[in-house]
Chain A
Amino acid sequence: MWVYEKKLQYPVRVSTCNPKLAKFLIEQYGGADGELAAALRYLNQRYSIPDKVIGLLTDIGTEEFAHLEMIATMVYKLTKDATPDQMKAAGLGDHYANHDNALFYHNAAGVPWTATYIQAKGDPIADLYEDIAAEEKARATYQWIINMSDDTDLNDGLRFLREREIIHSQRFREAVEILKEERDKKKFF
């Protein structure tokens, strides 16, 4: 069960009407390394992972939904009042034809989200290593979007999200250390 707080994890400010940027940002919404994929991946892997790290997957999976909501807000604000012509000029003509200005779970190239983006191998180390890789890939995606964006207000929010990816990666790495069960033990190899 979840308790919903009707506010964003970090304030989202967008200073320009820039549908082009929305086209790039949607990668973090419905892309392979996006927030939706992350949330569903972690919350699903929880069931078959050792008890010690279930709570971590719950916490991080939940936070990913808070990030998803931030990305949604950013995309929505960037395209809210864009005319069909502006959408077309931003390369979002295909999107407009199918969805008007609505959001949809697809990546920057318009490919719809698919469950094949995520995995649950059942092997705790394999699953956690996938999670670490996913966090590093999401971190990199944020870097490339920040590089393309000149909206400083938006970049502020993106920097926050990128920092969270660093922390999540750190916690997954610590989860691996916990499962290795060699921490703080004297090593005789």
Chain B
Amino acid sequence: MNTLRKTWHPYISPFDPCTPIKVKTYSTPPNLYMGFQPPGLEQFTPMEALRAGTLWKAFYDPWYSPYEKAREGQ
């Protein structure tokens, strides 16, 4: 596993009405790669785990809006 986000380049027609999105991304969360969870994985502290939503660091993959920064810049 290298990244938890993958990208692809959709075809762009010269006649597309909307401003084309050149690169599209999608999420490939860690559960796709783990198989049966091996023993002895690294853990968050209990307080961190409650906030993160998981005890296991290997499964932590938070999603942030790619548009959030752009909106704040306005």
Contact = CB atoms under 8 A, between A and B. Distances in A.
Given A143-B27, A163-B53, A170 B37 contact: yes
A11 to B, nearest CB: 10
B67 to A, nearest CB: 6
B35 interface: yes
A30 to B, nearest CB: 22
A147 B69 CA distance: 11
Given A146-B64, A166-B54, 4 more contacts: A147-B65, A155-B64, A159-B63, A177-B35
Interface in A144-174: 146-150, 152, 155, 159-164, 166-167, 169-170, 173-174
A137 B45 CA distance: 29
A185 interface: no
B68 A159 contact: no
Interface residues of B, number: 24
Measured as residues with beta carbon below 8 angstroms from the partner, the interface class of chain A is: 20 to 34
Contacts of B63: 142-143, 146, 159, 162
A183 to B, nearest CB: 6
B48 to A, nearest CB: 12
Contacts of A149: 65
Contact of A174 (B37, B61, B66): B37
**A140, A142, A146, A177 — which one has the most chain B CB atoms within 10 A of its CB?**
A146
B71 A150 contact: yes
Interface string B15-36: 0000000000001011100111
Given A143-B63, A147-B66, A150-B71, A170 B34 contact: yes
Interface in A34-73: none
A139 interface: yes
Contacts of A162: 53, 62-63
Contact of B29 (A148, A150, A166, A177): A166
A159 B37 contact: no
